[in-house]
Structure 1
Amino acid sequence: MRDKSISLADGVAHQVVCLRNISRYLSDSEREVHDVLNTLAHLLPEGWQYSSDTCVRIVWGEMVTESANFKETQWKQIADVQSGDTVIGTLEIYYLDEKPEAEEGPFLFDERSLLETVAAELGSYLEHKQIQRLKDQQHRELELYASLLRHDLRNDVGVIVGNTEILKMIMPDRDENLDQIITSTEAVCVRMMSLLNVFGRAATISSTDPVTMIKKIAEQTKEINPDMKVQLEIAKEAEGAKIPESKLLPLVFDNILRNAAVHAGQSPEVQISITKENRVLKIIISDDGPGVAEEVRERLFQKGVSTRGGGLGLYLSKHVVETMGGSITLLDSEYGKGAVFEIVLPTIN
């Protein structure tokens, strides 16, 4: 009886130490999620009575992390990992071979309790990481908005000031032109307020359906440019994919399609291909225009560099995509055979 009590006490002590170590790793906000999950998969067996014959699998969306000795067997304990009321993954414990019958198959009730506790802590950790990533993204986007506002306001105010000076010099009756100036001023103010209001909302874990968004932008582009053809090719696995919400991302696609409409010649044709592999969404946009000259290609995404004098569109587009953990690239194509852009974005659960 005394030996059994000592054994139970040792088991509880192991679980306490195991939980303390896991809690320490889950509280380290500087570590990458993959590293934390990998460490967790190798720490967790220490809380089970047959630790050397215990293996672990952690599933989070499409990310699967397994202990080095992992083998799926019939002797298992599984707990859901949740963010709020949503199941976002599972925490799975397996014995590598058959063990004596205990309280829950070969497992103990205390082990079930430990598993549920760790799953709850893991859910809170993953939710926190997603919120933190969203806040970081919004902060970077706010900096980009400041750059965009400075650029737009400088141009708009310059036009207004120039028109005002001309009116003073050559037009004694300024009513109609003053109306135009007032309209321009109102448009600037509305745009400023719209942009600022976007970031007046509280940060939440939000997602966007990129396929629906791109379809909408393509339709809007065709309405504005009736001679333009936009064809979409969407892989089955890309349907229903979700990406982190970004208020600026629609501007990236709008910018590329608008450039094609203006610079790809008469009746331009644009092909948009959307595919998904693992946790990555890939969008390829190609047009049948003249493409990008070789001397410009290497510097195309730099500020102030452009084939058409503006330079801010692709510069900002690159930073918008990169704040989301993605990339935008001008793919190789022969000059005179169109421009091909590849946009890669991470998906979320």
Structure 2
Amino acid sequence: MNHRAQAALRERVKELTCLYGIATLSEQPGISSQEILQGIADLLPPAWQYPEIACGKVVFDDFAYMSPGAVEGAQRQSARIIVHGAERGDVEVAYSKTMPDLDEGPFLQEERKLIDTVASHIALIIERKQAEEERQKLQDQLRHADRLATIGQLAAGVAHELNEPLGSILGFAQLANKNPGVPKESSGDIQRIVNAALHAREVVKKLMLFSRQMPTRKEHVDLNKIVKEGLYFLESRASKSNIEITRSLASGVPLIFADQSQLYQVLVNLTVNAVQAMPDGGKLTLKTEACGGRVHLIVEDTGIGMSQEVLGKLFIPFFTTKDVNEGTGLGLSVVHGIVTSHGGTISVESEVGHGTRFTISLPSAGEKGADGGDN
């Protein structure tokens, strides 16, 4: 075998070693995309004709992964990384010293084919990783939906079992308290029983709303009117807590086909949460908007905000960050259930120390509401 053939064989072995290394790297269980890209950058220099002066670099989504000791060189060879038709970065090999020209500057024709192949492999790896992540996300959503369905069935059963004894407790306690012969001390105790029963009944009602057991009566309703009526009862509580309420209700907001009492429940839950998130006072803003055949309700506060961890659990039933006796952890689950049952969506933006913003989007019924808004 002559010298030229031997040199060509060595180059081919280096190319295959690089590609085999990339394939092995991408098949490692649990390895992240970032670790794969760094590993590929490390595999590049030994595959080129002058490995001792070759520097490998992979740039993806504006983040660079470089081989050890990599420096910028005047002589470089690169290939674009195209993922789903969009350019996301490039692969580059540079020489730290100037070398004589060959096929493409100092680079071999085979090295051009290799760097193009590496860029294609990276694109395929990223596409596969994204597909795996999307599949995992869908599986998590399905598991979450199954858990919610199970909890909903349990909640419905518990609610029905509690309703009758609670009604008896409340009825007899109220009846006993009307007896003129009841001592004053006993009357106070009976009133505590009444209050506790009423609280328990509200919990049962939330359980039934969450499990969709409450009857729904949908009609054409005006969201502006619901907001105004809801704020009428909230303003006194807010003023005592040193909270300023600002409202911006768009005029001509279309009607929505919804259960008025359930939407009122949504408004109450969101505004009460907002007030509780501002123990030292603050600003509560309520807005209505109409856009693209949908009506939006925005509830925003300047309270303590929430971490990303809390945001991830926000709509999970019985999850709460409040103290014992301050919340059941069902309020936002009920809100989510009501909104989705009306064909709507709910999104949350929050940052610790910078408040929270809930945006509810509901399909409009087409007709404009009679309430003129604030504008």
TM-score, length-scaled by structure 1: 0.53
Residues 55, 69 of structure 1: 8 Å contact kept: yes
Q: CA deviation at 1:145?
A: 2.5
Offset from partner CA, 1:122-154 (integer Å, 9 cap, x none): 111111112212222222232223333334454
Offset from partner CA, 1:291-336 (integer Å, 9 cap, x none): 99xxxxxxx9984663432225789xxxxxxxxxxxx9995x7xxx
Residues 79, 116 of structure 1: 8 Å contact kept: yes
Cα separation, 2, equivalents of 1:265 and 1:89: 45
Cα separation, 2, equivalents of 1:125 and 1:255: 48
Aligned to 2:212: 188
Aligned to 2:54: 54
Shift in CA distance, 150/38, structure 1 to aligned 2, threshold 3 Å? same
Cα separation, 1, equivalents of 2:270 and 2:79: 46
Aligned to 2:3: 3
Aligned to 2:283: 269
For the pair 1:144 / 2:158, whether they are aligned, the reply is no
Residues 274, 301 of structure 2: 8 Å contact kept: no
For the pair 1:76 / 2:99, whether they are aligned, the reply is no
Shift in CA distance, 54/288, structure 1 to aligned 2, threshold 3 Å? closer
Shift in CA distance, 136/8, structure 1 to aligned 2, threshold 3 Å? same
Cα separation, 1, equivalents of 2:331 and 2:69: 50
User: Over the residues paired in the alignment, what is the CA RMSD in angstroms?
Assistant: 4.8
Aligned to 1:209: none
Aligned to 1:175: none
Aligned to 2:34: 34
Shift in CA distance, 225/43, structure 1 to aligned 2, threshold 3 Å? farther
Shift in CA distance, 91/48, structure 1 to aligned 2, threshold 3 Å? same
Q: CA deviation at 1:76?
A: 1.1
Cα separation, 2, equivalents of 1:10 and 1:256: 71
Aligned to 1:18: 18
Cα separation, 1, equivalents of 2:152 and 2:268: 15
Tell me the number of residue pairs that the alignment of Structure 1 and Structure 2 aligns.
237
Cα separation, 2, equivalents of 1:223 and 1:156: 32
Residues 303, 355 of structure 2: 8 Å contact kept: no
Runs of 5+ consecutive residues of structure 1 not aligned to the other structure:
167-183, 190-218, 232-253, 272-284, 293-299, 316-327, 334-338, 343-349
Shift in CA distance, 256/162, structure 1 to aligned 2, threshold 3 Å? closer
Letter in 2 for 1:188: R
Letter in 2 for 1:37: L
Aligned to 1:287: 302
Counterpart of 1:59 in 2: which secondary structure? strand
Residues 153, 188 of structure 1: 8 Å contact kept: no
Residues 286, 340 of structure 1: 8 Å contact kept: yes
Residues 76, 94 of structure 1: 8 Å contact kept: yes
Residues 54, 93 of structure 1: 8 Å contact kept: yes
Shift in CA distance, 162/123, structure 1 to aligned 2, threshold 3 Å? same
Offset from partner CA, 1:232-284 (integer Å, 9 cap, x none): xxxxxxxxxxxxxxxxxxxxxx999555446458996259xxxxxxxxxxxxx
For the pair 1:109 / 2:109, whether they are aligned, the reply is yes
For the pair 1:310 / 2:328, whether they are aligned, the reply is yes
Residues 55, 94 of structure 1: 8 Å contact kept: yes
Aligned to 1:282: none
Residues 60, 90 of structure 1: 8 Å contact kept: yes
Shift in CA distance, 20/108, structure 1 to aligned 2, threshold 3 Å? same
Query: Percent identity between the aligned chains?
Result: 21
Counterpart of 1:51 in 2: which secondary structure? coil
Shift in CA distance, 264/125, structure 1 to aligned 2, threshold 3 Å? closer
Residues 303, 356 of structure 2: 8 Å contact kept: no
Offset from partner CA, 1:193-237 (integer Å, 9 cap, x none): xxxxxxxxxxxxxxxxxxxxxxxxxx9x98997685599xxxxxx
TM-score, length-scaled by structure 2: 0.50
Aligned to 2:67: 67
Aligned to 2:341: none
Runs of 5+ consecutive residues of structure 2 not aligned to the other structure:
168-207, 214-223, 236-244, 249-266, 286-299, 307-313, 334-348, 358-375
Counterpart of 1:93 in 2: which secondary structure? strand
Q: CA deviation at 1:155?
A: 4.2
Cα separation, 2, equivalents of 1:128 and 1:255: 45
Cα separation, 2, equivalents of 1:223 and 1:128: 51
Q: CA deviation at 1:30?
A: 2.0
Shift in CA distance, 158/264, structure 1 to aligned 2, threshold 3 Å? same
Letter in 2 for 1:309: G
Q: Which has the larger radius of gyration?
A: 2
Shift in CA distance, 97/224, structure 1 to aligned 2, threshold 3 Å? farther
Cα separation, 2, equivalents of 1:256 and 1:118: 54
